Every structure is written in C-alpha cells, then in structure tokens.
C-alpha cells in the first residue's frame, strides 16, 4: 500500500450528518480517524488511494437502514465493506464515501438442521461459516484462498467461486435467502430460505454479483451440505494442453469430481523453489492436473485408478500420483494453492478470465501467442479451475523492469487479452467482479444494450445513485 497522496484530502461531512450517524449506530461506531479511514477505505487491490469520509460499524439491519436513509437524505455515497479481500477494487472508497463496514454483523442467527440451513449476518467470515458447518457435522463448500478474511456479504457481492465449483457451484447456489437494505432504504426479505418459490422475479439473484451497487446484504440464509468423506487427490503430469480436456472428460464420465485444477510447469517450479515441497513425481511436464474426488468406497478409488491407467495408455498422462491419506492430499493441494502466494514476489499482472471449457485450448494458445509476440521475455504462469473454464493468467514481472514500466507494458497486452476473451464469448472477470479495475473493459463481455438494462435496474433500487457509485459501470 502506498501512502495517500497529499493532493487527496478527506471531504468534510456536514456536522449534522455525523451527529445523526452517531445517533443511528452509536457514537463509538462512527470513526473519523485517518488510520481507520485508510484501512477500511481499501481492499486487496493496490491501485487506488483510499479516501472515505467516515467509517460506520452498524450492528444490525435496522442500523444499516438508518445509515442508508441518511446517505440518501444528505446525498453522500456509501461503500459497503466486508472482508476487503476483493481484487477489483469493489470495496475501495476513494471519493469521500461513507464506508459501511459489516465487521460487527458477524453473528450466527439460527440453525435449522432439517433444512441444513444456517441464518447468519452478512459480516460472518467465510472460514467462520465453514467451521460452524463442521461443528454441525455439515459442510460449506465455497472455498478459496481468502476464506480466512472474506465475509459472506462480500462473497455474495462477487458471487465468489473458488476451488470446488465443479461439484458445488458458486456462492449463488448456497444462498437460499437474504435480507437486504436497498439503495432506497427499503428492507427486503428475499426468498426466506426456500428451495422452491415461484412467485415472481427472484430479486435475490439480482443482488448476487451486484458488488454492493443495489443495496447492502445484511442477513443471509445459507444452505449447508453433507461433509465429503475420504477426499483423494490425484496430480497428473500432462504432455500437451489438449490432453487436459481428454482427462477431464474421462474422469467426469466415471466419477463425481470435487475439483479439477490445472497449472503449468513454470507455476510448479516457482512453488517448489518457494516452499521446498518436493515434486509430485520425477518427470517434469509442461502441464499438471490436480483432481479430487470422494474415495469413501474402494470401488470408487478403483474406478479412479482404472481411469488413470486409461489416460496413461492414451498418452494423455505421463506420470501421476494419488494421495493415500489426508496429509498427502494436503501436500498435493499446496502445489496448486500456494501458487498465488509464491508468485506475489514477482509482482504478477493478474487476470481472472473465463471461457467455455471447449474453447480453453484455443484461448490459451492465442494468449500465449500474443504475449510471446509483444514481450517474448515475459513469463506466463497459468493456473486455474479448468473444470469451470476459469483461468488465472499471471504474467510475471521480469527483474529488469520497474513495477510501473511492467504494468505500462501489461496495459498494452490487456486490450489484446480482452479482445481474445470477446472472440471466444468469454468473461473478463470470472469470479473477482468488475469493481473499478475492470469497468473500462466491461463491454468486452456485456454489450452496450445489455449494460443499459443494468443501468436502468440500478435506478430501480438506488434512484439517487448512492450505493457504491463508480463500480461495475
């Protein structure tokens, strides 16, 4: 995080607004000190200077509603704030906003075992929810690197996905209901936890992925799942990318996969160098697949072994290893999960893109060609959730370039990358949202006619435009 530039000054709020915010949430819950402003004004995106006017910490839905009504009355924008782990600056307050932090709204409200449903406040941290589920003998399957800090409300804002989507879907699939305060200040209780409810437009799904631009999600009904048992991990070495697709189909035809990830040799090299984890097997391969399944029954493990052998016979796999216990499984997972942390040292230029699985091979080849043409000395670290068509493209900064020089060059690549995304009807943001960093590129995925509908829907929920303005579009 750079220090705020001196040219930025925090706007002065009307004293009456501050008094009334204090009345709404309690004096001690309205923070104006610069440390709080700096910390709660930003997320994990590092490109923007935080510059909110005030940070408030409401305790419940009614307090959130009171703040939203004040924001409408005084015409001051709000930035909803969760775990602030976003990578698209969706939770950055750079223009004197009121930051509404959900940090205090972190309570479990109710648990309904027959429905396998838990009702929580939206400030509950993902890991806290995962642990709560485990204590009930159940499972919350949405998982990703920032689960220790990200909050459910924020996950809903970007419809977070992660590493188990191939079996369990995105956050969307686990949200059975929510209580939301709209930009107009209305409290809506959406879907009330039901599985089946065909009574008009499902506004819940409009809130999911809205990045806090329509309202603030305050309470959520989350569905939990049976715990997976005896998870087995296979890591396979793959000679060419096309084989990854054959492997996916071969395994999917016989097993219910809980993960299907891929990474390239550069990624594994970096992880091994950084962590000291041994190679999964001797052979270095251009590509690797990590897949996971429930191995509760020996017959399923046999199916997996037979499929592995079939893939070897076909030449799709050069070598492979299967975990025999939990500790081995965890070590194999680190080959994939430690990539982000490992390459952070190389100031990577990151993209989170998605195309149909069918188009992945051609898409990767196109992007490789573009980067090689423009910057033959750049290294590309590929990894991602191939089973969902979701690729993380990370270009590593060469040592001889400064960060600014590097990002300047990457910006040139950006346009070509997004043109390629568009060529394959893909998404410029698979699971990170649009926020501020992607909004200039939104038109590569959503056409202008469609974006106009988004704007009109925004007006329905937030006619004064106070909810997280400047995000998405």
CA 46 – CA 31 distance, rounded (Å): 23
Least Cβ distance, residue 6 to its own copies (angstroms): 35
Rank residues 200 and 376 by Cβ distance to its own copies and give the closer one: 200
Least Cβ distance, residue 4 to its own copies (angstroms): 28
Bridge partner residues of 293 (DSSP): 232, 257
Rank residues 3 and 198 by Cβ distance to its own copies and give the closer one: 198
Q: Which residue has the tokens 């992925």?
A: 209
Bridge partner residues of 139 (DSSP): 225
Least Cβ distance, residue 178 to its own copies (angstroms): 12
Rank residues 38 and 438 by Cβ distance to its own copies and give the closer one: 438
Task: Specify the DSSP class assigned to residue 405.
Answer: H
Rank residues 96 and 193 by Cβ distance to its own copies and give the closer one: 193
Rank residues 98 and 210 by Cβ distance to its own copies and give the closer one: 210
Least Cβ distance, residue 427 to its own copies (angstroms): 4
| Cβ–Cβ < 8 Å for 363, 426 | yes
Rank residues 160 and 317 by Cβ distance to its own copies and give the closer one: 160
Least Cβ distance, residue 138 to its own copies (angstroms): 9
CA-based Rg of the chain, rounded to a whole angstrom? 23
Reduced to 3 DSSP states, what percent helix, strand and coil does the chain have, rounded to the nearest 5? 40, 20, 40
| Cβ–Cβ < 8 Å for 193, 473 | no
Q: What is the dihedral of CA 386, 44, 83, 3, to 10 degrees?
A: 180
- Tally of CB atoms within 10 A around 306: 12
Rank residues 21 and 216 by Cβ distance to its own copies and give the closer one: 216
CA 5 – CA 131 distance, rounded (Å): 41
CA 392 – CA 384 distance, rounded (Å): 5
Least Cβ distance, residue 318 to its own copies (angstroms): 21
The CA-based angle 129-130-133, given to 5 degrees, is 85
| Cβ–Cβ < 8 Å for 31, 57 | yes
Least Cβ distance, residue 357 to its own copies (angstroms): 5
Bridge partner residues of 179 (DSSP): 189, 219
Taking alpha carbons only, the member of 291, 205, 283, 198 closest to residue 250 is: 291
Least Cβ distance, residue 253 to its own copies (angstroms): 7
Least Cβ distance, residue 363 to its own copies (angstroms): 12
Residue 383, SS3 per DSSP: strand
Bridge partner residues of 454 (DSSP): none
Rank residues 54 and 430 by Cβ distance to its own copies and give the closer one: 430
Rank residues 172 and 334 by Cβ distance to its own copies and give the closer one: 172
């Amino acid at each position: 995080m750079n220090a705020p530039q001196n040219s930025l000054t925090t706007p002065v709020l009307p004293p009456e607004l501050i008094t009334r915010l204090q009345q709404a949430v309690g004096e001690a819950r309205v923070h104006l000190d610069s440390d709080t402003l700096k910390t709660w004004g930003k997320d994990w995106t590092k490109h923007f200077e935080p510059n909110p006017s005030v940070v408030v910490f409401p305790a419940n839905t009614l307090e959130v509603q009171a703040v939203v009504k004040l924001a409408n009355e005084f015409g001051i924008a709000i930035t909803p704030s969760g775990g602030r782990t976003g990578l698209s600056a969706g939770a950055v307050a750079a223009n004197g906003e009121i930051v509404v932090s959900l940090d205090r709204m972190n309570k479990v409200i109710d648990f309904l075992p027959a429905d396998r449903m838990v009702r929580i406040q939206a400030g509950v941290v993902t890991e806290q929810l995962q642990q709560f589920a485990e204590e009930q003998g159940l499972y919350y399957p949405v998982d990703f690197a920032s689960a220790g800090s990200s909050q459910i409300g924020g996950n809903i804002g970007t419809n977070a996905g992660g590493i188990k989507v191939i079996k369990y879907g995105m956050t969307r699939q686990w949200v059975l209901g929510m209580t939301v305060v709209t930009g107009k200040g209305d409290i809506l209780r959406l879907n009330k936890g039901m599985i089946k409810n065909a009574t008009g437009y499902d506004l819940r799904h409009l809130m999911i992925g809205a990045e806090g631009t329509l309202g603030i999600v305050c309470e959520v009904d989350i569905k939990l799942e049976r715990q997976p048992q005896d998870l087995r991990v296979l890591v396979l070495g793959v000679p060419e990318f096309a084989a990854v697709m054959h492997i996916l189909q071969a395994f999917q035809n016989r097993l219910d996969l809980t993960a299907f990830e891929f990474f390239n040799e550069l990624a594994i090299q970096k992880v091994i160098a950084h962590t000291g984890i041994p190679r999964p097997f001797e052979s270095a391969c251009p590509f690797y697949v990590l897949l996971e399944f429930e191995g509760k029954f020996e017959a399923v493990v046999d199916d997996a072994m037979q499929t592995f052998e079939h893939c070897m016979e076909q030449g799709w796999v050069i070598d492979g290893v299967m975990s025999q216990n939990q500790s081995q499984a965890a070590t194999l997972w680190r080959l994939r999960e430690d990539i982000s942390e490992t390459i952070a040292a190389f100031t990577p230029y990151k993209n989170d893109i998605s195309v149909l699985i069918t188009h992945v091979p051609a898409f990767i080849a196109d992007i490789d060609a573009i980067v090689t043409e423009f910057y033959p000395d750049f290294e590309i670290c590929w990894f991602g959730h191939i089973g969902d068509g979701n690729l993380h493209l990370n270009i590593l900064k060469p040592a001889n370039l400064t960060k600014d020089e590097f990002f300047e060059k990457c910006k040139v690549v950006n346009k070509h990358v997004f043109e390629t995304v568009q060529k394959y009807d893909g998404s410029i943001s698979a699971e990170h949202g649009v926020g501020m960093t992607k909004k200039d590129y939104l038109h590569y995925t959503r056409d202008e006619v469609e974006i106009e509908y988004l704007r009109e829907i925004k007006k329905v929920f937030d006619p004064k435009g106070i909810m997280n303005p400047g995000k998405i579009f």
